[in-house]
Amino acid sequence: REERITLAHGAGGKATHTLIEAVFLESFRNPMLEPLEDGAVADGLAFTTDSFVVTPLFFPGGDIGDLAVNGTVNDLAMCGARPRYLSAGFILEEGFPVADLRRIAASMAQAARTAGVWIVTGDTKVVQRGKADGCYVTTSGVGTLERPVRLSAAAARPGDAVLVSGPIGEHGITVMLARGELDIEADLRSDTAPLNALTDLLLDACEDGAVRCLRDATRGGVATIVNEIAGASQVAVVLDEDAVPVRPAVRGACELLGIDPLYVACEGRMVAVVAGEFADAALAALRSHPLGSEAAIIGRINDDPPGLVLLRTSFGGTRIVDLLVGDPLPRIC
Amino acid sequence: REERITLAHGAGGKATHTLIEAVFLESFRNPMLEPLEDGAVADGLAFTTDSFVVTPLFFPGGDIGDLAVNGTVNDLAMCGARPRYLSAGFILEEGFPVADLRRIAASMAQAARTAGVWIVTGDTKVVQRGKADGCYVTTSGVGTLERPVRLSAAAARPGDAVLVSGPIGEHGITVMLARGELDIEADLRSDTAPLNALTDLLLDACEDGAVRCLRDATRGGVATIVNEIAGASQVAVVLDEDAVPVRPAVRGACELLGIDPLYVACEGRMVAVVAGEFADAALAALRSHPLGSEAAIIGRINDDPPGLVLLRTSFGGTRIVDLLVGDPLPRIC
Ligand SMILES: Nc1ncnc2c1ncn2[C@@H]1O[C@H](COP(=O)(O)OP(=O)(O)OP(=O)(O)O)[C@@H](O)[C@H]1O
Ligand SMILES: Nc1ncnc2c1ncn2[C@@H]1O[C@H](COP(=O)(O)OP(=O)(O)OP(=O)(O)O)[C@@H](O)[C@H]1O
Ligand SMILES: [Mg+2]
Ligand SMILES: [Mg+2]
Ligand SMILES: [Mg+2]
Ligand SMILES: [Mg+2]
Ligand SMILES: [Mg+2]
Ligand SMILES: [Mg+2]
């Protein structure tokens, strides 16, 4: 047992999972929380929450405001729900410029319009100077389940295909570079975007039950998500490294930083596990939308070895891809 | 226009209202947010959120955990809803003791059990040492509207009675004293408590429509709440100072601090506006529950002067009670 919270507990990988299971699930346990999916589902509703502590607050391609709206919209969409109502809780630092707050609120309003949701309730607290890095935002969301879906990380089966909706890692790398602490220049923008239009297209294109699982590849990146799926479904996820879309600027920055793009957070990309016979239809559906134009089939589900993720590397080898350990890129969402 | 956020923007009074209307309502405007009630209501659901940044995290009578659960349960109850599902977003400070986190989670779980709700989804972020005062918690909640009520701060009418469910100001004073910065000793505990059992008893005791408005008297205290009601309903609220229950320890501390107990936050007390002919039934209903055993009728609604709160003082005079200005007791929730 670790005795103190570390940054790794917030990175979405192994330490986060352990903390959530040992402390939160242990205390709160109930059948809606237990599956630890992107949102909780019951009574025809989906319900989810995320806090955002990104620094800097403004970065190429977005800011904490649209990030917070899109993040919660996406967790609802991953449940197969139609995102409807959002809440917005602000923790503001004394001295924070009201002009910046207006910019963030405007960006949230715009993101809400784009995603087709309303921000219907909120809260505003202020903490002393030096706390809260200017502004933390917590969004929660309620969606309505209007499709007969039962999406679950535990639903992947051998023969299924694994898709990603676009190039990975842009959000995490963009935010890191925006801090200006690294001597790396790259022409990159965050991928923050609402995915509900994409999930609608995907679910429409496949017959009921063919879409097994949807997950937005946020903290911990694609590698962490597919590990969760492998573990929950007790299957092997076999990824083809060459098939994973990564923009050259992301690949270059990752090489300089010594990290694997598979672990870098996206905020507008999802992983979908789809029955093998619907893989092509799913791919076409994703590609029919601008946000999915670079979607790809990146792997498949095998029965063996259960619980593991294997990567067929560009060099023809195979290696195990584990849960994220530590926190290579802190505070990116 | 103020250019920077001040602690007063978080105090729940005049500055908070101005900020919410000028920035958040202005950006997010929609019919569900517009009334600025304790929660948003539509489709048979109520939805609300609050962030908690109290310091210290543990205080006599409670901690940030039960405070966060009760606060969101209460905002749902004030909508006339049955509180059902809660989310819990944690922003943790690097170095925070896991033992304290366990204590907070256990206290949330206990509060959820008491209120009859489930914590079904959550999020965990970590920020660098020196930020976040150990732990901030944001709870959101979904409730179901199972009664034909239309509670609103705009629904008070001349002839209505104003009730409070118990002695006021204990939470705010307790937290201030728990900081140990003031040279005041008092035997006080926070009043943090779930009010949904009380609202059920109250609504059962009155005929449909007789309960006009319910509000938990949190930041800004009873004075701020009744100002909101006076403004939204365009009526006068006339309070009788002698009728307002205040424990001697709270009164004493308030005198030493030079503040009026009417402005001090409670976290387990509500104001109810009820049709005059149901005042006694409402009072009896509240008093039938341990949390309402000291409930009182503290005033009535007049038509004139619209939008104002008048206090008939113990000395026989009358004075205007305005919205809270500034922040006499920061960071108490
Ligand atoms: N403090 C918490 N209390 C209760 N449940 C939690 C808590 N933190 C996380 N969870 C639950 O654990 C699971 C994983 O949470 P996580 O935040 O990693 O998912 P996510 O929101 O999809 O990812 P991200 O936060 O990176 O966008 C979810 O089911 C979530 O509800
Ligand atoms: N940042 C925000 N964005 C949108 N709406 C907000 C925001 N902050 C507050 N509101 C809305 O303003 C109204 C008043 O909020 P406030 O937090 O003062 O109410 P409360 O939760 O009942 O009080 P407390 O927070 O003291 O418990 C509510 O309708 C709330 O939804
Ligand atoms: Mg997610
Ligand atoms: Mg998320
Ligand atoms: Mg609030
Ligand atoms: Mg309230
Ligand atoms: Mg509240
Ligand atoms: Mg999350």
Q: What is the 3-state secondary structure (H, E, C) of chain A?
A: CCCECCHHHHCCCHHHHHHHHHHHHHHHCCCCCCCCCCCEEECCEEEEEEEECCCCCEECCEEHHHHHHHHHHHHHHHCCCEEEEEEEEEEEECCCEHHHHHHHHHHHHHHHHHHCCEEEEEEEEEECCCCHHHEEEEEEEEEECCCCCCCCCCCCCCCCEEEECCCCCHHHHHHHHHCCCCCCCCCCCCCCCCCHHHHHHHHHHCCCCCEEEEEECCCCHHHHHHHHHHHHHCCEEEEEHHHCCCCHHHHHHHHHHCCCHHHCCCCCCEEEEECHHHHHHHHHHHHCCHHHCCCEEEEEEECCCCCCEEEECCCCCEEECCCCCCCCCCCCC
The ipTM, to two decimals, is 0.98
* Residue A182, C-beta contacts closer than 8 angstroms, at least 6 positions apart: A176, A256, A257
* A310 beta partners: A238, A320
| B contacts of A88 (beta carbons < 8 Å) | 24, 28, 49
Domain borders along chain B are 35-144, 161-320
Going by CA atoms, what residue is nearest to atom 8 of ligand 1? B123
| B contacts of A138 (beta carbons < 8 Å) | 49, 51, 89, 91, 123, 138, 140
Would you state the structure tokens that stand for residue A211, as one six-digit string?
Answer: 């879409």
| B contacts of A53 (beta carbons < 8 Å) | 91, 125, 127
Per DSSP bridges, beta strands B211-216 and B296-302 are unpaired
**H or E segment at B232?**
helix B221-233
Give the pLDDT confidence score for residue B326 in this predicted structure: 87
Would you state the structure tokens that stand for residue A210, as one six-digit string?
Answer: 């063919």
Judge if the beta carbon of residue B218 lies within 6 A of ligand 2: yes
Rounded average pLDDT over B128-142: 97
What amino acid occupies position B239? L
Judge if the beta carbon of residue B88 lies within 6 A of ligand 1: yes
**Residue to test with chain B: of A107, A124, A175, most B Cβ within 10 A:** A124
What SS3 class is residue B218? coil
Residue with tokens 């496949």: A206
Residue with tokens 């907070």: B104
Burial of B42 (0-12, 13-18, 19+ CB in 10 A): middle
- Find the helix packing angle between A64-78 and A98-115, rounded to 10°: 30
Nearest Cβ partner of A30 from B27, B51, B118?
A: B118
Residue with tokens 């602490």: A181
Per-residue pLDDT tens for B57-79? 999 999 999 999 999 999 999 99
Q: Look at residue B1 and tell me whether its pLDDT is greater than 60.
A: no
Q: Look at residue B183 and tell me whether its pLDDT is greater than 90.
A: no
B35-144 and B161-320: identical CATH topology: no
For ligand 4, a single-atom ion, which residues have Cβ within 5 Å? A 50, 71, 75
| B contacts of A267 (beta carbons < 8 Å) | none
Rounded average pLDDT over B298-307: 97
Cβ atoms A160, A300 nearer than 8 A:
yes
Give the pLDDT confidence score for residue B312 in this predicted structure: 97
Rounded average pLDDT over B289-295: 98
Give the pLDDT confidence score for residue A45 in this predicted structure: 97
Nearest Cβ partner of B49 from A121, A127, A331?
A: A121
Going by CA atoms, what residue is nearest to atom 12 of ligand 1? A36
Note whether B120 contacts A45, CB cutoff 8 Å: no
* A24 beta partners: none
Residue of chain B whose alpha carbon sits nearest to that of A15: B124
Ligand whose nearest atom lies closest to the CA of B91: 1
Nearest Cβ partner of B49 from A26, A98, A140?
A: A140
Q: Look at residue B2 and tell me whether its pLDDT is greater than 80.
A: no
- Nearest 5 degrees, angle CA B281-CA B285-CA B286? 120
Note whether B87 contacts A48, CB cutoff 8 Å: yes
Residue environment code for B225-258, b if the CB has 16+ CB neighbours within 10 A, otherwise e: bbbbbbbbbebbbbbbbeebbbbebbebbbeebe
Phi-psi label, residue A133: left if phi above 0, alpha if psi -120 to 50, beta otherwise: left
Rounded average pLDDT over B28-42: 97
Compute the distance between CA of residue A107 and CA of residue B187 in angstroms, rounded to an integer: 47
Distance A278 CA to ligand 6 centre (A): 49
Would you state the structure tokens that stand for residue B105, as one six-digit string?
Answer: 């989670």
Within a 10 A sphere around the Cβ of A286, how many other Cβ atoms?
Answer: 27
DSSP B4: B
CA-based diameter of chain A, in Å?
57
Burial of A188 (0-12, 13-18, 19+ CB in 10 A): buried
* Confidence category of residue B243, pLDDT binned at 50, 70, 90: very high
Judge if the beta carbon of residue B174 lies within 6 A of ligand 2: no
What amino acid occupies position A138? T
Closest CA to A216 of A250, A165, A147, A142: A165
Give the pLDDT confidence score for residue A1 in this predicted structure: 55
Ligand whose nearest atom lies closest to the CA of B218: 2
* Confidence category of residue B185, pLDDT binned at 50, 70, 90: confident
Compute the distance between CA of residue B185 and CA of residue B270 in angstroms, rounded to an integer: 26
Which residue among B5, B17, B20, B263 has the greatest number of ligand 2 atoms within 8 angstroms of its CB, and so is best to mutate? B20
Judge if the beta carbon of residue A37 lies within 6 A of ligand 1: yes
Give the pLDDT confidence score for residue B328 in this predicted structure: 85
Phi and psi for B157 in degrees, rounded to 5?
Answer: -130, 150
**Which CATH fold would you assign to the domain A35-144?**
60s Ribosomal Protein L30; Chain: A; (3.30.1330)
Going by CA atoms, what residue is nearest to atom 22 of ligand 1? A38
Q: CA of B120: how far to CAs of A15, B10, B125, B236, in Å?
A: 21, 28, 17, 42
Judge if the beta carbon of residue B269 lies within 6 A of ligand 2: no
Q: What is the strand order of the sheet A236-240 is part of? A: A211-216, A270-274, A161-164, A296-302, A236-240, A309-312, A318-320
Q: What is the pLDDT along chain A (333 residues), one digit of tens a residue?
A: 559 999 999 999 999 999 999 999 999 999 999 999 999 999 999 999 999 999 999 999 999 999 999 999 999 999 999 999 999 999 999 999 999 999 999 999 999 999 999 999 999 999 999 999 999 999 999 999 999 998 999 999 999 999 999 999 999 999 999 998 888 888 999 999 999 999 999 999 999 999 999 999 999 999 999 999 999 999 999 999 999 999 999 999 999 999 999 999 999 999 999 999 999 999 999 999 999 999 999 999 999 999 999 999 999 999 999 998 888 889 999
**Residue to test with chain A: of B7, B43, B87, most A Cβ within 10 A:** B87
* B91 beta partners: B125, B136
Phi and psi for A121 in degrees, rounded to 5?
Answer: -155, 160
Nearest Cβ partner of A53 from B6, B49, B91?
A: B91
CATH of segment(s) B161-320: 3.90.650.10
What SS3 class is residue B47? strand
What amino acid occupies position A136? Y
